[in-house]
Structure 1
């Protein structure tokens, strides 16, 4: 099966990184400006959650107000309840994704309620969102398992998937929050999700905690998934899991892989690498990834031929 012509990389560093590293608002705006200049057009910009739990994102409304607007820009966020959703609507978010965890223990640590209670809150939010100019979707955090729970299968997803459709929420982000998925596991669970929602309603967020992120990306293309979440310089973390891995797949590495496979991202790789190095300097942490250290594979000047993969 041949790969798609293009993929939308949604950059989640503005949310994932700054929930773990508190920086001035001006740094966040500069990061987005640089990424926009590099060709990025889809962002998870922040979270509208309690400032006492995630102080690094207390300026979410300011960030939305100050980011540069260009044609084709899509600005998303995370929300934990109806109040957060109302704030996101007021800020002008295009999409808002509810923080629903498939792992019960993390659900309670993250937003202080069980998964069942979270689903009831999501149902109330869905009724509110119906009259608002915003797309309300949901995360499924730890969809593949974790942070210490066993791996999950496509069959494990079924009850949650049916409940979400009963509520009326059919835009999902499947997050491999602990990096459990190699290509077979990625394929199995995404295929299970696609039995309930079309490919255009599904985003997959790849994390690279166990070094399988780039390998796990390729089956998504074969399955027709065009929306993929990554994080610049592999940055990020989570206040509810201090001292543990929590970063996304490195954006610049993902872009290089896709381009070498003949898949267009619309992103300028050298500019992206420059921005990744700038970000790690601003944060004072080494960051992750390969291509920003080694440099991109030299171009032949000829477009890459899309490849076909069999897994």
Structure 2
């Protein structure tokens, strides 16, 4: 489990997912992955989705997952997560020292078969077996709800679509969820609707939201999440990312540096140094050659000075 820290906790926990989301689609050497994490640690990031323990023939860019876990320096307050697709992957994540493991559950049936080779129903049966395994070990098991808002090509989904799946997950004892807008379908009203429905089943501190900014609405989702009490948000440095099963798709997450600037200007602490984050984003895109997006690394941050922002009035 992560070491305890005496550093004040930020208002929002930003989990950096670029080490998994980007490198699953843009293979690089293990040294590059660990250098990225080191730079992000220097910037104050303390929560990562570090890699995936999945079949290397399907995702060859993450075949070095165990080595990456072994090389990352442990610092106080650090939490390291991994994606897993089955019991074998969960056992490998536990052996590697992961603090959390996230099951790759797709709400979209077609993508479920393309991604991990089984139906959503079969995935739920596998997750039930994995929940029993994780309960006997010092490992937090949560689950993705990939395409929770719809996609990759089908219609949008709403609260009514979530209900049967939510009940099934609670039946098998999995009450920590990552709602993923995997192709950027949701504007703030849709974000609010589905998150509100999820919060009827699980507490806010068991919910993470991950927005893939494929349609330019990603940043707009952040403030509604805060208003709803969600404090765990997944972002990707330089808006980078993609998926081997969706070649050519806009698969990047909400841009970490843009998200940090927005939150800090809104009076919400993240514990992350924006200047160092920008240096790392530019290193990732310019020196490593990873495709990226985002605004603040091109235009520069809003100049410091003037009256500080009043913190937003949250409902904690």
After TM superposition, the score normalised by the length of structure 1 is 0.96
Indicate yes or no: 2:141 matched with 1:136: yes
| 1:152 and 2:182 matched | no
The residue aligned with 2:89 is 84
Question: Where does residue 227 of structure 1 map in the other structure?
Answer: 232
The alignment status of 1:263 with 2:268, answered yes or no, reads yes
| 8 Å contact kept, 2:240–2:291 | no
* Contact 1:79 1:99 survives alignment (8 Å): yes
Deviation at 1:149, TM superposition (A): 1.0
Matches within 5 A, 1:112-261: 112-261=117-266
SS at match of 2:52: strand
> Is the 1:21–1:283 Cα contact (8 Å) retained in structure 2?
no
Shift of 1:282: 3.5
Aligned residue number for residue 297 of structure 1: 302
Compute the displacement of 1:302 (Å).
Answer: 4.7
Which stretch has the larger CA shift, 7-16 or 276-285? 276-285
**Structure 1 runs of 4+ with >3 Å offset:** none
Q: What 5-or-longer segments of structure 1 have no aligned partner? A: none
Cα deviation 1:36-72 (Å, max 9, x = unaligned): 0000000000000000000000000000000011000
Q: Which runs of 5+ in 2 are unaligned?
A: 1-8
Q: Distance in 1 between matches of 2:123 and 2:151?
A: 18
Select between 72-81 and 298-307 the one with higher mean Cα deviation: 298-307
Q: 2: distance between equivalents of 1:141 and 1:283?
A: 28
Is the CA contact (8 Å cut-off) linking 1:47 and 1:77 kept in structure 2? Answer: yes
Match of 2:75 in 1: 70
| Paired residues, number | 306
Q: 1:102 aligns with which of 92, 107, 120?
A: 107
Pairing 1:32–2:37 present: yes
Q: State the shift of 1:216 in Å.
A: 1.1
- Give the distance between the partners of 1:308 and 1:129, measured in 2 at CA: 37
Structure-2 separation of matches of 1:57 and 1:282: 20
Deviation track 1:96-130 (CA, whole Å, cap 9, x = no partner) reads 00000000000000000000000000011111111
- Judge conservation of contact 2:10–2:271 (CA < 8 Å) in 1: no
**Cα contact 1:42–1:74 (8 A) shared by 2:** yes
**What is the CA–CA distance in structure 2 between the aligned matches of 1:160 and 1:83, rounded to whole Å?**
24
- For residue 209 of structure 2, give the secondary structure of its aligned residue in structure 1: strand
The whole-number CA distance in structure 2 between the counterparts of 1:62 and 1:285 is: 21
Alpha-carbon shift at residue 307 of structure 1 (Å): 3.4
User: TM-score when scaled to structure 2?
Assistant: 0.95
Shift of 1:301: 5.9
